[in-house]
Amino acid sequence: MGTEHSNMIEDLMNTLPDDVIKMGNFLRQRDSYRYDEETDTLVPHNGNRWRLAYSDGSYLENVHNGPANQPEGESLIVSMQLAREALMKGKIIFWNGSPMNCLNDCTVTENEMSEFIKPTLAEYLIIAEEYGYFNFMVTPDATDNPRWMWETSAMDELNRPLGVPKGPPVRVGNDFSRHFDHVSVVLTVGNNGINEGTYKWSDGAPPSPLPPPTPLPTPSPVPCTHIKVDIATHSHISEISWSIKDYLNPFGGDILIGGFYTQHQASYIQNECFEAGVYSFSISDVSGLTGIGTYKLSFVDSGKVFIEGQLGDAKEYVFGFVDHDMVHVVDSCDSSVLSGY
């Protein structure tokens, strides 16, 4: 997009009255270019984030497509990240949920629609905030051409209550999960461009009254050690994820997780109290940006750091406690030293 055209759009937005909603079809990672006067060429321009300063929001399309050298799954993840960033700034996002692009015939069957809605609605629920909207159509154009029209009024997923979100989305690898009052959703993003959405719905009806339970004895508190995880992000925040697990029970699930961050060059801190035992800390960052972002684990009480490093690759550490005292901190490739623990 040429500089004169870009300046014209910005000037137009700035001259509109305050009570006008100013939106455009600009926030995207594909075709995100700006004219460089020095080289007389179009250059990549960071998803067109710069336009958010003078607009109220953006309509997003082609969310599954990115630059030619980008894996298909990563294209969707970065598009979701762009939408989350805008929503967290109070902007309006209109997420186009069609999984297909068609210039001529967009006719689909009911069976095709019932399959299309599963991953695309999951995408929206992962990014959803107060000013986020979902469109399950090929286009938002209000035309009377039947080839663009999908009849969605009878679709089960679009007639169920959601309730409010219980918290932000959580990313573990390519799995994104989120919980609402009436549904829990998991989006699995495939590197082959095939994505899956799974749902666990509840109708939100109150349970039948039950007699009050007999009070149980108050258990004695279990001694634990307070640990702080501090992640300093870089510019590729969508690549960062980490987890802490019970090392001696690897199938027991995550004790503490982090990722899907929304701010660049920011510090994210999480605290947890760990009982005596052996734990693994795994951190993944495939961006390759070394020397910028960092991670560290420290004791809350003393402030002593016992694990630290730079983002930019995948790493796993093993550490353990006995009566609040550190036993070992080792790289997982040498974790055999803990075999006698």
Same domain? For 15 and 150 the reply is yes
DSSP lists the bridge partners of residue 43 as: 34
* Spatial separation of the C-alpha atoms in residues 55 and 307, rounded to whole Å: 43
Assess contact for 82 and 163: CB atoms under 8 A: no
* Spatial separation of the C-alpha atoms in residues 274 and 161, rounded to whole Å: 37
Please count the CA atoms within 13 angstroms of the CA of 46 that sit on its side-chain side. 8
Domain contains 172 = no
Assess contact for 95 and 135: CB atoms under 8 A: yes
pLDDT of residue 335: 37
Single-letter amino acid code for the residue at 295: Y
Q: Which two tokens stand for residue 14?
A: 């700035």
Per-residue pLDDT of the chain (341 residues; tens, 9 = 90+): 456 777 788 888 888 888 889 888 888 776 556 666 777 776 666 777 878 888 899 988 778 777 766 777 888 888 899 899 999 999 999 998 776 666 556 677 788 888 889 999 999 999 999 999 998 876 666 666 655 567 777 888 888 999 999 989 999 889 999 999 999 999 999 988 789 999 999 865 544 444 566 666 766 666 788 899 999 998 888 888 899 988 887 667 778 888 888 888 889 999 888 888 889 999 988 777 767 889 999 988 888 899 999 998 888 898 887 765 565 676 654 433 333 33
Last residue of a domain, one of 122, 144, 163: 163
Residue with tokens 């068609």, as numbered in its chain: 102
Last residue of a domain, one of 146, 163, 180: 163
Please count the CA atoms within 13 angstroms of the CA of 12 that sit on its side-chain side. 11
Single-letter amino acid code for the residue at 147: R
pLDDT of residue 121: 94
Same domain? For 155 and 291 the reply is no
Same domain? For 154 and 12 the reply is yes
pLDDT of residue 135: 84
pLDDT of residue 281: 92
Domain contains 193 = no
**Residue 2: count of CB within 10 angstroms of its CB:** 11
What's the total number of domains in the chain?
A: 2
Assess contact for 179 and 165: CB atoms under 8 A: yes
Same domain? For 53 and 147 the reply is yes
Q: Which two tokens stand for residue 183?
A: 């549904």
Same domain? For 56 and 134 the reply is yes
Domain contains 154 = yes
Residue with tokens 């995880």, as numbered in its chain: 229
Domain contains 210 = no
Assess contact for 93 and 135: CB atoms under 8 A: no
Residues in CB range of 248: below 8 A, 6 or more apart:
277, 278
Same domain? For 10 and 121 the reply is yes
Same domain? For 245 and 151 the reply is no
pLDDT of residue 62: 77
Domain contains 204 = no
Assess contact for 291 and 306: CB atoms under 8 A: no
* Spatial separation of the C-alpha atoms in residues 187 and 190, rounded to whole Å: 10
Residue 304 domain boundaries: 225-338
* Spatial separation of the C-alpha atoms in residues 282 and 26, rounded to whole Å: 36
Domain contains 26 = yes
Residues in CB range of 269: below 8 A, 6 or more apart:
228, 229, 230, 231
Same domain? For 36 and 119 the reply is yes
Last residue of a domain, one of 142, 163, 184: 163
Q: E strand or H helix at 36, and its extent? A: strand 33-36
Domain contains 176 = no
- Going by C-alpha positions, the residue among 85, 86, 83, 106 that lies closest to residue 95 is 83
DSSP lists the bridge partners of residue 271 as: 228
Q: What are phi and psi for residue 51, nearest 5 degrees?
A: -75, -15
Same domain? For 123 and 242 the reply is no
Domain contains 313 = yes
* Spatial separation of the C-alpha atoms in residues 172 and 188, rounded to whole Å: 10
pLDDT of residue 5: 72
* Spatial separation of the C-alpha atoms in residues 266 and 224, rounded to whole Å: 29
Q: Is 102 helix (H, G, I), strand (E, B) or coil?
A: coil
